[in-house]
Amino acid sequence: MVRGRKSTGEDRSDRLSEYESKRNFEKTPEPGPRQRRSRTGRRFVIQKHRASQLHYDLRLEVNGVLKSWAVPKGPSLNPKDKRLAMAVEDHPLDYAGFEGVIPEGEYGGGTVMLWDQGTYIPDDDTGDVAKGVEKGELKFSLNGKKLKGSWVLVRTRGRQWLLIKHKDAYASDESVTETQARSVLSDRTLAEIASDEGGDVAKAATGDPVEAAPPRRTPKVSRTAKRRSSTASPSRSRKASSGARQRGGGRHAPGRS
Ligand code: MN
């Protein structure tokens, strides 16, 4: 029987019981709990997860488990953005290295990419991260490959939190989930991970941004000529849509499939 409410007095196995009860380790390649602490004790990862909905799982190591939040739109480097972050069950530390395919029909079925990893430091002087989680406000600095600088997670109600970038040297309006869409572990896209590991490639691909179109081979002069005669051209609609894609109109909207 899984206890839904958490209390500070629970030991590690209690805190991971929800994680274990949701998964059949005969069927999923996800790890069961083994490791008890990382070298630094302050590991962080973000896993991009194309499950029923695309989301990014932010995980911070706190007292031997990974506290976890599912962020539908992913992190934003822009301090004006408040990204919804739903608290989900604690995950074992072993999960921090996981990238692969969870079989369809299993809990969280779909492709998982290790999108960023590194360490974090609580900004609070006391360093008491568990207390911050309890209180519903956690300020921390990330030292990842993609994400750096200071962030805050603040609880609004229930399991709903907001993830917000603080203003600092790493704040920017770069759309980091689009510009740095590949795995920090393997440099693969979601579709490539699915393809390598027997997953649903078409589903996974909907979580990848459309790659920049290859350079046109057609010389410019002939483009002009084609445009002049395009009213009668049967290839007009095809050209129009490829033009839209080059302007960014073909980008996949995250979480919309
Ligand atoms: Mn997930």
Using one digit for the tens of pLDDT, what is the confidence trace for 87-111? 999 999 999 999 999 999 999 999 9
**To the nearest whole number, what is the mean pLDDT of the chain?**
83
| d(CA 72, ligand 1 centre) in Å | 9
Query: Per-residue pLDDT tens for 158-209?
Result: 999 999 999 999 999 999 999 999 999 999 999 999 999 999 999 999 999 9
Per-chain residues with Cβ under 5 A from ion ligand 1: 49, 57
| d(CA 1, ligand 1 centre) in Å | 22
Choose the weakest-confidence range: 108-117, 177-186, 248-257: 248-257
| d(CA 227, ligand 1 centre) in Å | 47
Cα gap 134→88, rounded to integer Å: 14
Query: What 3-state class would DSSP assign to 253?
Result: coil
Mean pLDDT throughout 123-135?
91
Q: Say whether pLDDT at 133 is over 60.
A: yes
| d(CA 108, ligand 1 centre) in Å | 6
What is the pLDDT at residue 237? 40
Cα gap 159→63, rounded to integer Å: 20
DSSP structural state of residue 167: S
Question: Helix H segments across 106-246?
Answer: 129-135, 176-179, 190-196, 201-205, 220-228, 236-246
pLDDT-based confidence at 217, cuts 50/70/90? Answer: low
| d(CA 6, ligand 1 centre) in Å | 20
Class of residue 154 by CB neighbours under 10 A (exposed 0-12, middle 13-18, buried 19+): middle
| d(CA 57, ligand 1 centre) in Å | 5
Contact 209, 191 (CB under 8 A): no
| d(CA 242, ligand 1 centre) in Å | 33
What is the pLDDT at residue 124? 84
| d(CA 193, ligand 1 centre) in Å | 16
**pTM of this prediction?**
0.77
What is the pLDDT at residue 249? 37
> How large a percentage of the chain has pLDDT more than 70?
78
DSSP structural state of residue 77: S
| d(CA 56, ligand 1 centre) in Å | 7
| d(CA 122, ligand 1 centre) in Å | 24
Backbone φ and ψ of 60, nearest 5°: -120, 130
230: left (phi over 0), alpha (psi -120 to 50) or beta: alpha
What is the pLDDT at residue 213? 42
Q: How many CB atoms lie within 10 A of CB 79?
A: 17
| d(CA 234, ligand 1 centre) in Å | 45
What is the pLDDT at residue 126? 85
Residue type, 189: T
